[in-house]
Chain A
Amino acid sequence: MKGKVNSLSQARDVAQDYRLVPEDFMKHLLLTLGIVAAMVLIASFLFGVPEKQPLTIKAYATQHPVAFEQVALRALDGQGQLANYGPPYNHGTGSVQTSIQSVVGILHPINAAQDFILRPLSMAAAINPALRPSLKAFASASAAQQARWEAAATTALARASDHNGAVVWPAGSYGPVRTLLAATLSLGRSGLMYGALTRDGAVVDRFDNQNALLFLQGSPLQTDPATQSLQGSAWGIIHPAINGYPGAWWMTVPTWIYQWPFVANSAAPDALALILGFVVWVLLAITPWIPGWRRLPRYLGVHRLIWQNYYHDHPGGQAGAIRGEGVHHA
């Protein structure tokens, strides 16, 4: 009985009085393919493809030597964003947004001091043996001594200056840290640091550039003038890296959610924005089963424009008899 009521209701909701008309479907498909191909080729000829120069370690080290040494120091002393991130990289707490992030645990281990600074320097020491005493002095010092050197270096670098590319520190007791950071800067400027960060002694291919990308992910990328319009708080991803090109505008809804104050100010803004965006998608996806909402289009009346010709030709309402299952394979 219920099925009969449903099919009756469906029949009332769906026009039955329409004709089948001859159509060259293959021509239709080839036409749309031709239209898209032509549009894409013309746009490619006229506009090419946006490609904004990435921020390289070499460029950052060359242009911002003091800031570069500060980034290296924060990796060394564990104060950097990645050094203190938490899962999936390490046991830090700085970027843990949810408990599930902690439960999933460490998947891509990063020890920032070792992986970003000390291991690349030990590789550089193979070419520049003068580095070895400093590396050895740092490694053999107690953690407390290392922390004192690093604290002194942090204070010093806040007052350091750039003299023709050389970082000039105020006088102080920095142990081997000053030498290590100067060597890191040289390695960065040489263009070899990217390779040192993506090193994997076990395989010859380099697919994973995680550490090279994450080394610059904090203030170097955040303060880069080129990324300011890409910041999450500035509607980030929907903007292109080069003005004038389209970005990922289809992400407008989650990006908009990201701007909501209670999301932006929450302790887990990224997780919350993605979850709420997913909820919006679920509501869209289950539209056919949401009472009331699913009937909205009929009341909005836009369908009268879409089927303007049909309604013009069928002004009298449900003229034809209900044809049961309707027309299949049309």
Chain B
Amino acid sequence: MANWTEASKQRLQIVLSADTWLPTELPEYARGFMYMLGSLTASSFVVLVLSGILLAMNGPTSWSYNGAMRFVAATHFWGVQAFFFFMMLHLWRVFFSGAWRGGRGLTWLLGAIAFLMAIPTAFTGFLINGDLYSQWNAVQAKDGLNALGLGWVNLTDAGQMFGMHVVVLPLILAIIIGLHLTLVRVKSVVPPYPSAPILDEGQGE
């Protein structure tokens, strides 16, 4: 059996390398606005984490009453919109690029899982805002979870939703995004389709 330590060491030398994360050269095709969409999504996540830390530090009552904290809540709200907006544009870009080619299937899959996880992460945030939208969606969405046997997730329990939104879901999301970015950096972004005519139809399916 191979030496696990050696194998881990070799892999980590790539994953933790500054060369991996801070390239000084990029492929010529990976320039322009289309190649900012992933970074814009990741940047939105950073804004969400920072504004979220400010909100969590002051607690749920602060963002309902305090003017300054309402502003922080606003940045968190618009950060979510930016996150999904850029993620959706990024998703379209990578789809039309066939970004899973060249052994990048797992990168695509992790991105898809990040998209899936982002939905309950955002949703639980809406549930602890304390307004009509929170109230309505907590009592409406519970029926779907209950029907699927997921009733232990109690959308009307603000304590559980706070924990889910502030710790559990963003932590999972951050790990998935981290793995996604690691693969993007290690495998690089997918090169274009060859400009030659398509001759290999049916091969490699």
Contact = CB atoms under 8 A, between A and B. Distances in A.
A259 interface: no
Interface string A291-330: 1101101101011001101110111111000000011111
Given A39-B78, A281-B112, A302-B96, A25 B23 contact: yes
A5 B130 CA distance: 58
B62 interface: no
Interface string B130-153: 111111111111011011110110
Contacts of B103: 10
Contacts of B19: 329
A168 interface: no
Contact of A47 (B31, B74, B152, B203): B74
Nearest to A284: B112
A122 interface: no
B31 A23 contact: yes
B156 A210 contact: yes
A329 B16 CA distance: 12
A253 to B, nearest CB: 11
A142 to B, nearest CB: 33
A6 B102 CA distance: 10
B204 A289 contact: no
Interface residues on B, range: 35 or more
A330 B113 CA distance: 25
A14 B157 contact: no
A166 B102 CA distance: 74
A286 to B, nearest CB: 7
B191 A326 contact: yes
Given A274-B144, A288-B105, A326-B102, A15 B192 contact: yes
Interface stretch (A28-36, A126-134, A151-159, A179-187): A28-36
A247 to B, nearest CB: 8
A113 to B, nearest CB: 19
Nearest to B123: A248
Nearest to A294: B100
Contact of A213 (B75, B133, B135): B135
Q: Which of B43, B116, B152, B162 is most buried by chain A, counting CB atoms within 10 A of its CB?
A: B43
Contacts of B81: 43, 246
A37 B79 CA distance: 8
Interface string B9-46: 00000100101101111111111101010011011101
A287 interface: yes
Contact of A10 (B34, B102, B134, B186): B102
Given A21-B26, A35-B40, A287-B95, A227 B132 contact: yes
Nearest to A316: B195
B77 A297 contact: no
A22 B31 CA distance: 11
3 closest Cβ contacts across the A-B interface? A207-B159, A9-B204, A288-B100
Interface of B: 14, 17, 19-20, 22-32, 34, 36, 39-40, 42-44, 46-47, 51, 64, 70-71, 73-75, 77-79, 81-82, 84, 86, 88, 93, 95-98, 100-105, 108-109, 112-113, 115-116, 118-119, 122-123, 126, 129-141, 143-144, 146-149, 151-152, 154, 156-160, 162, 185-200, 203-205
7 contacts: A28-B39, A33-B46, A50-B133, A107-B154, A208-B154, A250-B119, A297-B193
